[in-house]
């Protein structure tokens, strides 16, 4: 149905009113069918024109209508009603006025002269030829050749979806089944846990379970760690692993390792994190402290890292801790320095295969070379266009230089993309062709069908999430299953609204959360504290939460509480009354109380505006950021904006708070129960999606600053291109995960700021 009743108006879904969809969504139960009065759900996805859906099992005679019947329309004068636009004044809330330019409200619905297109087909710049010859075999001749070439070094260099991983699994099965090789002598390595699971599952389909289990298969870290535990269990006990940067920093400070290094002790948290990142990259490149200390380094971060590096290593050694990078170095040194152990492994491991070889770093490569010697049955498989772990020291030069390291290596290239429909392949190739440092590949597509590639332009990140989830809901109704869908994001902020909408729609999803929960972040807790206090002036926990933002010490909270009990008034009311306040302080605190009192009568968006500006929360965050320069506070202002965008969907402060508390609770529940077993939508970062494939892929936030990421744009401003090339490779990886459809979201606003479409959109399509 294309119309609905909203209060006493009839609203119509036409291209001219599509820009009001986001506002109408927040009306919830107020959207009704004029005939049967059932609540309607506004469905606005991507591949279909928006409509209002009746509840399931509804038998309403109007439910498929595009227009209300004429006689009814005449009576209701629907057209006039739909066109009503309320001209907005400056918003006045109690004694506080929000100037119109500051009011980010859901009532600002004047349609633009040119309503944005609901969706747009993205046609690749480059068309790709289809494979003309018929194929009866399960492997293409080039793939078959790769399977049969088992002895000596072999490089398989080919584009995404060309069957590299398929070749690796077929080759493993061939070695075991046809050549009688013992599975325990074959080592199969890849980079992410997900990719390793995928490979084990694919191999499991071709071999008896026992044989598949006996293979030495997994990620570098898992395989190397098993070796270390076997030979030096006491040194590598799991409990001594430093996983997070804050653990490393604590070790350095609490063991007195930095004594006498005042300049290091004075570093801000963010600077330490950056320096630790540099140290990690050096370790992956096997650059040891004594080498680095002699280098003439230019940047501040590198200079900090240079000083910190030997101290960090010494502290770890002294107290028996280790980090992830130590596992790689430890394994390499174990093999290099203990001839007996090395020989044992070299005799045991006869065949080594490495998938995603473009992401190898020096320390991993050196270790692999030791393991594969002397027979060098080393098969490396990869695509230089998919190298996306530069920040961990990986370098596509290793794959491109493989034949120089092993002059007798054979090279096989695969030219047919078997995964994706042709326009998806076309977009990928059009895009990656813009990179300068790459090995150019020929490409054909196996599939004749074009596939579907859409751009869509939601108002903001919240509406984008609704569109994606409506699309999935619509497809599920048509018979699709959850596991066919994946949402791939560049940075974590893109995931939160999507997870919220999936939760509300009760669609199961797979998601591995490693970051701190959005709802638990300090800035978010402060904002919610203010809102809670506005509804309940006696919420002493909420007041305690926000005290730092008012420059009041936590100790004062006890005084406030006892005073509130003595006077028998809500704790918020005592806030301005303490005798110790200076005049200006008392005045501001009284203002905060007045604002929070007014907030009860506001929409959540208006309430947030008042809290950010008039209670000066935004100013407080800015000051704090200057003092601390840690990443958590860098993102504080983005979090304020994300909350604003989320608040737009709710009519009252109470409803918004309920939503946030509900989501926070649900998040805790699904964090506990992940990983889900069974069919579920995949929500994962592009980095983790490597090697995987899905029927339908959504890419949210294809805007400048998100993808390409802001840090790459910074480098471009300084005329550096390598970070931008890595971002392009990331998008190439994302696009090439899709088999049938690819939907790219370009929100018009993100974090409350106007956006520009990613430069990559114009590079790949028309």
Site string for ligand ATP, 135-174 (x = CB under 6 A): ---xxx--x----------------xxxxxxx--------
How far apart, in Å, are the Cα atoms of 473 and each of 479, 505, 694, 743? 10, 8, 17, 15
Alpha-carbon dihedral angle through residues 745, 672, 474, 59, given to the nearest 10 degrees: -150
Q: How far is the CB of 733 from ligand ATP (least distance, A)?
A: 7
148 touches 158 (CB < 8 A): no
Q: How far is the CB of 402 from ligand ATP (least distance, A)?
A: 17
H helices present in 320-395, as ranges: 324-337, 339-348, 362-372
Q: How many residues form the binding site for Mg ion (CB under 5 A)?
A: 3
Rounded CA-CA distance 339/325 in Å is 23
- Position 165 contacts Mg ion (CB under 5 A): yes
Q: How far is the CB of 411 from ligand ATP (least distance, A)?
A: 15
Rounded CA-CA distance 174/177 in Å is 5
**Dihedral sign (CA 721, 725, 730, 731):** positive
Q: How far is the CB of 384 from ligand ATP (least distance, A)?
A: 11
Rounded CA-CA distance 651/28 in Å is 10
Site for ligand ATP in 489-518 (CB under 6 A): none
Q: How far is the CB of 505 from Mg ion (least distance, A)?
A: 32
| Closest among 766, 687, 765, 699 to 726, alpha carbons compared | 687
Q: Which long-range contacts (CB under 8 A, 24 or more apart) does 107-110 make?
A: 107/23, 109/19, 109/20, 109/23, 109/85, 110/85
Question: Which of 23, 697 has the CB closer to Mg ion?
Answer: 697
Site string for ligand ATP, 386-405 (x = CB under 6 A): x-------------------
Rounded CA-CA distance 54/73 in Å is 20
Say whether 94 sits in a helix, a strand or coil.
coil
Question: Which of 161, 745 has the CB closer to Mg ion?
Answer: 161
Classify strands 749-750 and 753-754 as parallel, antiparallel or unpaired: antiparallel
How far apart, in Å, are the Cα atoms of 45 and each of 470, 646, 735, 738? 5, 19, 20, 18
Question: Which of 165, 364 has the CB closer to Mg ion?
Answer: 165
Site string for ligand ATP, 280-319 (x = CB under 6 A): ----------------------------------------
The residue to which tokens 């820009």 are assigned: 19
Q: How far is the CB of 691 from Mg ion (least distance, A)?
A: 4
Site string for ligand ATP, 719-738 (x = CB under 6 A): -----------------x--
728 touches 439 (CB < 8 A): no
The one of ligand ATP, Mg ion, none whose footprint includes residue 140, by CB under 5 to 8 A per kind, is ligand ATP
Q: How far is the CB of 369 from Mg ion (least distance, A)?
A: 22
The one of Mg ion, ligand ATP, none whose footprint includes residue 489, by CB under 5 to 8 A per kind, is none
Site for ligand ATP in 331-390 (CB under 6 A): 383, 386
Site string for Mg ion, 121-160 (x = CB under 5 A): ----------------------------------------
The one of Mg ion, ligand ATP, none whose footprint includes residue 160, by CB under 5 to 8 A per kind, is ligand ATP
Say whether 698 sits in a helix, a strand or coil.
strand
Q: How far is the CB of 416 from ligand ATP (least distance, A)?
A: 7
- Position 691 contacts Mg ion (CB under 5 A): yes
The one of ligand ATP, Mg ion, none whose footprint includes residue 18, by CB under 5 to 8 A per kind, is none
Q: How far is the CB of 375 from ligand ATP (least distance, A)?
A: 25
747 touches 459 (CB < 8 A): yes
- Position 163 contacts Mg ion (CB under 5 A): no
Q: How many residues form the binding site for ligand ATP (CB under 6 A)?
A: 18
- Position 419 contacts ligand ATP (CB under 6 A): yes
Alpha-carbon dihedral angle through residues 147, 151, 153, 154, given to the nearest 10 degrees: -20
Number of helices (H) and strands (E) in the chain: give both, helices first: 34, 27
- Position 603 contacts ligand ATP (CB under 6 A): no
Residues forming beta bridges with residue 715, ordered by sequence position: none
385 touches 438 (CB < 8 A): yes
Q: How far is the CB of 351 from ligand ATP (least distance, A)?
A: 18
The one of Mg ion, ligand ATP, none whose footprint includes residue 229, by CB under 5 to 8 A per kind, is none
697 touches 742 (CB < 8 A): yes
Residues forming beta bridges with residue 697, ordered by sequence position: 486, 742
The one of Mg ion, ligand ATP, none whose footprint includes residue 359, by CB under 5 to 8 A per kind, is none
Q: How far is the CB of 147 from ligand ATP (least distance, A)?
A: 11
Helix, strand, coil % in the chain, rounded to nearest 5: 50, 15, 35
Among the residue ranges 4-12, 214-222, 532-540, 690-698, the one whose residues contact Mg ion (CB under 5 A): 690-698
- Position 131 contacts ligand ATP (CB under 6 A): no
Contact positions vs Mg ion (CB under 5 A): 164-165, 691
Q: Which residues lie near ligand ATP (CB under 6 A)?
A: 138-140, 143, 160-166, 383, 386, 418-419, 691, 693, 736
């Amino acid at each position: 149905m294309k119309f609905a009743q909203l209060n006493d108006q009839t609203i119509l879904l036409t291209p001219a009113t599509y820009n009001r969809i986001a506002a109408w969504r927040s009306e919830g139960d107020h959207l009704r069918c004029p005939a049967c009065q059932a609540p309607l759900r506004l469905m606005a996805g991507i591949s279909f024109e928006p409509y209002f859906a009746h509840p399931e099992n509804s038998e309403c005679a109007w439910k498929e209508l595009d227009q209300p019947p004429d006689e009814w329309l005449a009576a209701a004068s629907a057209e006039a009603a739909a066109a009503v636009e309320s001209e907005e004044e400056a918003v006045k809330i109690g004694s506080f006025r929000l100037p119109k330019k500051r009011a980010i409200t859901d009532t600002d619905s004047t349609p633009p002269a040119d309503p944005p297109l609901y969706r747009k087909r993205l046609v690749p710049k480059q068309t790709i030829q289809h494979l003309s010859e018929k194929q009866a075999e399960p492997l293409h001749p080039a793939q078959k050749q790769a399977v049969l070439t088992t002895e000596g070094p072999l490089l398989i260099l080919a584009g995404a979806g060309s069957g590299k991983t398929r070749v690796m699994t077929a080759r493993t099965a061939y070695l075991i089944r046809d050549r009688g090789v013992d599975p325990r002598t074959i080592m199969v390595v890849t980079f992410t846990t997900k990719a390793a699971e995928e490979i084990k599952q694919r191999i499991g389909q071709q071999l008896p379970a026992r044989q598949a289990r006996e293979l030495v298969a997994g990620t570098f870290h898992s395989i190397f760690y098993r070796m270390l535990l076997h030979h030096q269990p006491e040194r590598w006990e799991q409990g001594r692993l430093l996983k997070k940067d804050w653990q490393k920093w604590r070790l350095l400070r609490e063991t007195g390792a930095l004594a006498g290094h005042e300049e290091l002790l004075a570093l801000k948290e963010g600077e330490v994190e950056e320096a630790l990142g540099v140290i990690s990259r050096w370790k992956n490149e096997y650059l040891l402290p004594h080498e680095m200390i002699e280098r003439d380094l230019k940047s501040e971060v590198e200079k900090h890292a240079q000083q910190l590096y030997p101290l960090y290593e010494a502290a770890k050694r002294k107290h028996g801790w280790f980090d992830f990078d130590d596992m790689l170095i430890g394994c390499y040194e174990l093999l290099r320095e203990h001839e007996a152990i090395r020989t044992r492994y070299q005799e045991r491991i006869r065949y080594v295969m490495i998938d995603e070889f473009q992401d190898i770093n020096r320390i991993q490569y050196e270790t692999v070379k030791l393991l594969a010697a002397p027979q060098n049955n080393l098969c490396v498989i990869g695509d230089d266009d998919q190298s996306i772990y530069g920040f961990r020291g990986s370098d596509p030069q290793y794959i491109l230089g493989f034949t120089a390291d092993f002059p007798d290596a054979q090279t096989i290239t695969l030219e047919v993309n078997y995964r994706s429909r042709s326009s998806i392949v076309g977009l990928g190739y059009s895009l990656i062709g813009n990179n300068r440092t790459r090995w150019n590949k020929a490409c054909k597509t196996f599939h004749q069908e074009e596939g579907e590639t859409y751009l869509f332009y939601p108002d903001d990140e919240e509406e984008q999430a609704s569109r994606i989830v409506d699309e999935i809901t619509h497809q599920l109704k048509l018979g699709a299953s959850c596991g066919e869908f994946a949402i791939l994001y560049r940075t974590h902020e893109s995931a939160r609204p999507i997870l919220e909408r999936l939760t509300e729609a009760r669609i199961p999803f797979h998601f591995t959360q490693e970051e701190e929960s959005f709802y638990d972040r300090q800035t978010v807790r402060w904002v919610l504290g203010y809102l809670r206090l506005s509804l309940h002036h006696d919420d002493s926990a909420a007041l305690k939460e926000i005290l730092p933002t008012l420059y009041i010490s936590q100790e004062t909270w006890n005084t406030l509480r006892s005073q509130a009990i003595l006077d028998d008034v809500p704790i918020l009311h005592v806030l301005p009354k303490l005798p110790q306040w200076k005049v200006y302080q008392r005045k501001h605190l009284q203002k905060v109380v007045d604002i929070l009192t007014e907030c009860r009568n506001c929409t959540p968006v208006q309430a947030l505006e008042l809290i950010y500006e008039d209670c000066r929360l935004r100013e407080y965050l800015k000051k704090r950021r200057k003092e601390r320069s840690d990443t958590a506070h860098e993102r504080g202002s983005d979090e304020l904006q994300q909350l604003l965008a989320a608040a737009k969907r709710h009519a009252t402060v109470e409803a918004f708070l309920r939503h946030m508390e509900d989501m926070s609770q649900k998040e805790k529940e699904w964090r506990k129960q992940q990983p889900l077993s069974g069919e579920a939508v995949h929500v994962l970062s592009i980095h983790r999606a490597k090697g995987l494939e899905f029927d339908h892929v959504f890419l949210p936030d294809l805007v400048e600053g998100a993808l390409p990421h802001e840090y790459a744009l910074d480098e471009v401003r300084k005329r550096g291109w390598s970070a931008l090339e890595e971002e392009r490779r990331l998008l190439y990886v994302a696009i090439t995960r899709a088999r049938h459809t690819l939907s790219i979201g370009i929100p018009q606003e993100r974090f409350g700021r106007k956006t520009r479409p990613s430069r990559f959109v114009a590079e790949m399509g028309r």
